[in-house]
Chains A and B, each alone.
Chain A
Amino acid sequence: MATGDTGNFGERETYLNKEYGIKSWLLSVDHKRIALLYLVGITFFFFIGGFFALLIRLELLTPAGDLVQADTYNKLFTMHGQVMVFFFLIPAVPAVLGNFLIPIMIGAKDLAFPRINLLSWYLYIMGGILMLYTILAGGVDTGWTFYVPLSTEFLKTNVVTAALAVFVSGFSSIFTGLNFIVTIHRMRAPGMTWNRLPLFVWAHYATSIIQVLGTPVVAIAIVLVALERLFHLGIFNAALGGDPLLFQHLFWFYSHPAVYIMILPGMGIVSEVVCCFSRKRIFGYQAMAMALLGIAVVGFLVWAHHMFVAGISVYAALIFSLLSYFVAVPSAIKVFNWTSTMYKGSITYQTPMLYAFGFVGLFTIGGLTGLFLACLGVDIHVTDTYFVVAHFHYIMVGGMVMAYMAGMHFWWPKISGRMYPEGWGRLAALIVFIGFNLTFFPQFVLGYMGMPRRYWDYSRAPEYQILNVLSTAGATILAVGYLLPMVYFLWSMRYGKPAPDNPWNAAGLEWTIPSPPSTFNFDEQPVVTWEAYNYDEIKQEVPVAH
């Protein structure tokens, strides 16, 4: 096993060819193999959730409720939300890319707790099976938020299994976060100081803090909902004097920071990609790292902005509105610093960079419209309209999924040992960008015009149709944009050009080891003597794409 050999994929022993057979995967404690196990599960649920989204968009093509009726429609958007949030968005970047890269980036052989890492995958799959059971057994229609008293008193659908699915997958998330925090604290290579950590690692550190502190709270909230359904406890039951608002507080205490679980790892990816393809150091490294932590901390103090019209006191609303504005400060620091990093950089336009451009622009739109919603007056006008739907899809799909795609393309050569086809990659990035904006920009307008979310039938307001048609058209384009990478990634695993150790001439420990890495990542303990993103010391350009 020789470090530094390039291109002789298949002869050298790697984590991929070390052992064969289903058992060597399902019982593997190698963080890289577990990352790929997650990739399979996450991709599966992404397409399940996407399928529900397409049905929703098809129904809204015409004003009348013709494809599905109200009950089915309620289930569609509920299951779209639950599958996408809990089984794709939250685990996607940490569990796949974070799992694969964090130990390598800090110069470790594995995460601190490899067996807990495998356990967290099994918990994810158990949660996933419960979710699939919920879907196949007739679905659930609480909305992804499980609001009481709807979920506890009124619905006859599979609320308890859906709640259990979220609960179990939540433990998977907790264990991943816990593993990352301990790994980043205790497993760094000699010389890998906190100020030399790649921002990808900082981003996951901030994410993990939210996972560890927030997830248990939604877990107990959901357990209490299940207990109310099963045993008629009265903690949220207004008939006994319980408070349904308390559920919303507990739910959003996690579920607002959960938005940052989704976006922070994406910010980490974009920092890596922007530096590499601008051939420059990150602008303001420490500000970037502190902004990540700042978002994580302030993100815990804004949850009640989801409840401005739910009957909270006006003083509480004022304070939460103000605190919500504060999140914009670290977020803006990040956008400014990415832009400053690109300024006077030698920019090249490889696929990961295209996605990173998309991320910065769309995240900015999503973030700015978030400020509209933090403003009490505007929020009351657009609450529960498509404006809100468009806003959070700009963050989650325009932000997080774009970043995820950027990361998948950037590190695919390292993960698979193969290059993806660059031309197809750029085309797919363009299709995703166009499809995304066509899908969700009209929804801003629809929402401002007053179209409420979660309606299957708008036949009393047929003037909404043209924008809905545009949105549905965009969704089909977006679907093509997501299917393409799926196809060419699979294709490249067999037919792609073997990847060199460092196809982008990028900085970072992960590019100093062979592609794909060997099981223990490093043959010898690396010692770090340089800052992150030392592109001024790396003279080479990014190799020209083929």
Chain B
Amino acid sequence: MHISPVATANHEAHENPALLHHFATVEQQKDAASFGMWLFLVTEVMFFGGMFCAYLVYRYWYFGDFGAASQSLDIKWGAINTAVLICSSLTVALAVRCGQVGKQKAMVVNLVLTIVLGLVFLGIKAIEYKAKFDEHHIPGQASFHLEKSIPGHPDTPVNQPHAQVYFSLYFAMTGMHALHMIIGVGLFAFLTYKAWKGAYSPGYYTPVENAGLYWHFVDIVWIYLFPLLYLIDRHP
């Protein structure tokens, strides 16, 4: 009909083995992959957004109870974990940089460091969860009991049901976050193996970059979780 197909298939002078058949150029392929990752992170924002929305509502309704329940968390572990995650963001960024400049060994080291830091975070989270179980701070259980008073009102004990709403959110939000950490650690284990085998080069390191984006996102979620869950009503 109207088409007189012109042969414009833009074949690269040096065929990159990583270039998939349906893309014209490596740039197009890389662009598509990182655009896809950013879109995926948008879906993640919406996913966590549901829980942050719930938090917003209940924090507003049960202001004092949330403050009281928050004080039962161990701020020391939360702070250490925040530092651990920020360090892991650094190692991930370094791993991506190593991809850009083609330092294979350093990339493997940084990826392994990221995994180690991720596992440290999860280990500390496990210690914190265990403490909650030991102290009977598990929502929905008959044994639930929180011995705290509303911040600023030492004679008003915390409302036990409302404190359970706080802990429901605490476990749902940190649990979902931990699940994302576990997936991330798995992802990096796979990438470490591939990097060790020499799969990435300055011409192709998109998977490392995308996994890095994911990891930064998971870190940022924690950067919000830490103040919202640990730091409310901490003023002396």
* A contacts, CB < 8 Å to B: 3, 103, 108-114, 116, 174, 178-179, 181-183, 185-187, 190, 212-217, 219-221, 223-224, 227-228, 231-235, 237, 239-243, 246, 249-250, 502, 509, 511-512, 520, 522-527, 529-530, 534, 537-538
Contact pattern, B 1-22, Cβ under 8 Å of A = 1, otherwise 0: 1110111111000000000111
Whether A525 contacts B5 by the Cβ 8 Å rule is yes
- Interface 9-residue window, one of B73-81, B96-104, B158-166, B187-195: B158-166
* With known contacts A112-B32, A212-B43, A227-B172, A233–B5 Cβ distance under 8 A: no
- Interface 9-residue window, one of B49-57, B106-114, B120-128, B212-220: B49-57
* With known contacts A190-B8, A235-B165, A246-B57, A512–B3 Cβ distance under 8 A: yes
Whether B172 contacts A235 by the Cβ 8 Å rule is yes
Which single member of B9, B32, B42, B54 contacts A246 (CB below 8 Å)? B54
What would 12 A/B residue contacts be, using CB atoms closer than 8 Å? Answer: A112-B36, A113-B32, A179-B36, A216-B49, A217-B49, A220-B176, A233-B139, A235-B165, A241-B61, A241-B161, A241-B165, A512-B1
Judge whether B133 is part of the interface by a CB distance below 8 angstroms: no
Q: Which residue from chain A places its CB closest to the CB of B55 in the assembled complex?
A: A235
Whether A220 contacts B43 by the Cβ 8 Å rule is no
Whether A526 contacts B32 by the Cβ 8 Å rule is no
Whether B21 contacts A526 by the Cβ 8 Å rule is no
B172-200 with Cβ < 8 A to chain A: 172, 176
Q: How far is the CA of A110 from the CA of B48 in the complex (A)?
A: 32
Judge whether B39 is part of the interface by a CB distance below 8 angstroms: yes
* With known contacts A524-B7, A526-B3, A537-B2, A213–B164 Cβ distance under 8 A: no
Q: How far is the CA of A509 from the CA of B139 in the complex (A)?
A: 58
B43-87 with Cβ < 8 A to chain A: 43-44, 46-51, 53-54, 57-58, 61-62
Which among A186, A234, A525 has the greatest number of chain B C-beta atoms within 10 A?
Answer: A234
In the bound complex, residues from chain A placing their C-beta under 8 Å from that of B39 are 178, 181-182, 212
Judge whether B140 is part of the interface by a CB distance below 8 angstroms: yes
In the bound complex, residues from chain A placing their C-beta under 8 Å from that of B20 are 114
* With known contacts A112-B32, A213-B46, A235-B172, A525–B8 Cβ distance under 8 A: yes
Q: Which residue from chain B places its CB closest to the CB of A232 in the assembled complex?
A: B140
Whether A182 contacts B35 by the Cβ 8 Å rule is yes
Q: How far is the CA of A529 from the CA of B8 in the complex (A)?
A: 14
Q: A241-B62, A249-B53 are in contact. List 14 more A-B contacts (CB 8 A).
A: A113-B36, A178-B43, A181-B39, A186-B28, A187-B28, A231-B140, A233-B168, A240-B165, A241-B165, A511-B1, A512-B3, A520-B21, A526-B3, A529-B2
B68 to chain A, nearest CB (A): 14
Whether B53 contacts A250 by the Cβ 8 Å rule is yes
Q: Which residue from chain B places its CB closest to the CB of A171 in the assembled complex?
A: B43
Whether A524 contacts B42 by the Cβ 8 Å rule is no
Whether B139 contacts A240 by the Cβ 8 Å rule is yes
A31 to chain B, nearest CB (A): 9
Whether B1 contacts A242 by the Cβ 8 Å rule is no
Judge whether B169 is part of the interface by a CB distance below 8 angstroms: yes
